[in-house]
A and B are shown apart, each in its own frame.
Chain A
Amino acid sequence: MSYSFKIDYRDGLCIHVHDQSTQPIEKFIVRVFIHKQQINKKLDYAYNSADSKAIIETFINSEEFDIPWVENIIPNHNHIRWFYKGFVPYIIEIRHPETNEVIFTEKFDLRNRLINFTLVSEDPKELHTWMCVIDNFRKEWGCDISIINTHLHQTQEYDWVTAYFPNNAPWDQFYAGYTIGRFGTKEAPDYFMNPDGVEGKNSLEIIDDILNFFWTKL
């Protein structure tokens, strides 16, 4: 066997398959599952008497299970990319096309990894809201964070960030990446980027959708 598979979570999901042997497998069956956690919870603002606000999360209950997402056949020395960009805890399974034997599995695992967030906004209040949620995300998953945003690159105000970069920096040395912002138009939302659209959504709901829609909300 001389298979090699590369799973890239930096811009959606991309799976490369290679068999370098003298009689290579011509194509591979790739199955992608979502490890879902059905959580009934709610993010909300909490105000105190000094008129400052914090983000609170109210947990109700949860259940975990894996559901099939897609199945594709990828020819040898090729790759396939799925363009949905939000956070999804994928499970990848690659099978032999003739024997149906599972020859590779990988579970998306953020722990100890560097995760990049590209924040498309220059509004300090909105950025602060998103950074609070990202800090919670960092603590929940045990990962490191890099940030692409010109305003935050200038201020560097959050100590827990491992690295800041300005907008459009070609930074690519991370495990998985997410872009937070409002994309598309009111008439034509970009559901690859904002899975529940943007109409009527506040800053908190925008990032909550991107990080939780397919994982806990749907």
Chain B
Amino acid sequence: MNNCLMIMSVRNEEFFKRSIDRLDISKVWFRGYREYELNTHVNQFIQETNFDNYYIVSDDVVITPKVFNILQEALTRHEIVTGWALRRQNLVESTILRQPKHWIHCQGSHLPTFVKYNNYIPVHEVDSLPDEFEVSFTGWFYTGMRRHIWLEYPYHTIAANQGQGYNHYLASTDAQWANRVAVEKKYKQMCIKAARVAHMSIADNNSTYYKWNFYKKEIIKEFI
């Protein structure tokens, strides 16, 4: 299959570049864009290219070639596959959510957001799950799917602009997308248990390690 990896990149971390360079797949880097700014670019890229499948990931997630090949094989059998990780290194929850739908409530005057933090599978319970299972959230942890599904359920965000204060974090494209697919039940989002990836992130508001660069925006295509 002729697949492409779409990378949302604002951190420019060497360890991430190294992990990506080891993957035998065409890539496109969306550098310097906020999540909501990619609404146009991601969908336009998919419309203008003709790969069989497109993966999406952000640049704080590291995968090994061995694990990536597991996803590649699974994608020959399923229309949507995803890896999984810890939500953050210092949290107990994984990114695996199996409840049938997300709940939505309104926050502030106009922005709807998801109540999505209650039922994630704790990481120590993941071993008891089947090798492959349906989820209602993928988190963009190397989430790959057919081109026609991307066209039917395009990338889009909650926020139409940067918003104010905390609201600029509420793009939640992963939750938006996964919720639509889960509710309509037309396609199954399949999580592959062996496809655990490393989420290089902690929940700590005081950490200043990552330097996000939103100033130089560019789209770099590395096709094989």
Q: Which of A27-35, A110-118, A119-127, A184-192 contacts B (4 or more CB under 8 A)?
A: A110-118
Instruction: List the count of A-B residue pairs having beta carbons below 8 Å apart.
Output: 54
Say yes or no: B123 contacts A111, CB within 8 Å. yes
Query: Within 8 Å CB of A170, what residues of B?
Result: 208-209
Query: Within 8 Å CB of A112, what residues of B?
Result: 86, 94, 123, 126, 196
- Neighbour of B198 across the interface among A144, A165, A171, CB < 8 A: A144
CA distance A8 to B88 in the complex (A): 13
CA distance A6 to B90 in the complex (A): 9
Say yes or no: B90 contacts A164, CB within 8 Å. no
- What's the least CB distance linking B121 to chain A, in Å? 12
Say yes or no: B15 contacts A164, CB within 8 Å. yes
Q: A8-B90, A162-B62 are in contact. Are A173 and B202 (CB under 8 A)?
A: yes
Say yes or no: B62 contacts A172, CB within 8 Å. no
- CB of A213 within 8 Å of the partner chain: no
67-124 of chain B: CB within 8 A of chain A:
86, 89-90, 94, 123-124
Query: Within 8 Å CB of A113, what residues of B?
Result: 86, 89
CA distance A164 to B18 in the complex (A): 10
By beta carbon, the residue of chain A nearest B65 is: A159
Interface size band for A:
20 to 34
Query: Within 8 Å CB of B204, what residues of A?
Result: 172
94-137 of chain A: CB within 8 A of chain B:
109, 111-114
- CB of A183 within 8 Å of the partner chain: no
Say yes or no: B209 contacts A163, CB within 8 Å. no
Say yes or no: B207 contacts A172, CB within 8 Å. yes
Say yes or no: B196 contacts A163, CB within 8 Å. no
- CB of B219 within 8 Å of the partner chain: no
CA distance A97 to B126 in the complex (A): 35
CA distance A48 to B163 in the complex (A): 66
4-22 of chain B: CB within 8 A of chain A:
14-15, 18-19
Query: Within 8 Å CB of A156, what residues of B?
Result: 18
- What's the least CB distance linking A168 to chain B, in Å? 13
Query: Within 8 Å CB of A109, what residues of B?
Result: 123-124
Query: Within 8 Å CB of B15, what residues of A?
Result: 146, 162-165
Task: List 14 other contacts, CB 8 Å, given A144-B62, A173-B200.
Answer: A6-B90, A7-B90, A112-B123, A112-B196, A146-B200, A162-B200, A163-B15, A172-B204, A172-B209, A173-B201, A173-B202, A173-B209, A174-B89, A175-B90
List 28 A-B pairs, Cβ < 8 Å: A109-B124, A111-B124, A112-B196, A113-B89, A114-B198, A114-B200, A144-B198, A146-B15, A162-B19, A163-B15, A163-B200, A164-B14, A164-B15, A170-B208, A170-B209, A171-B209, A172-B202, A172-B207, A173-B60, A173-B89, A173-B201, A173-B202, A173-B207, A173-B210, A174-B89, A174-B202, A175-B89, A175-B202
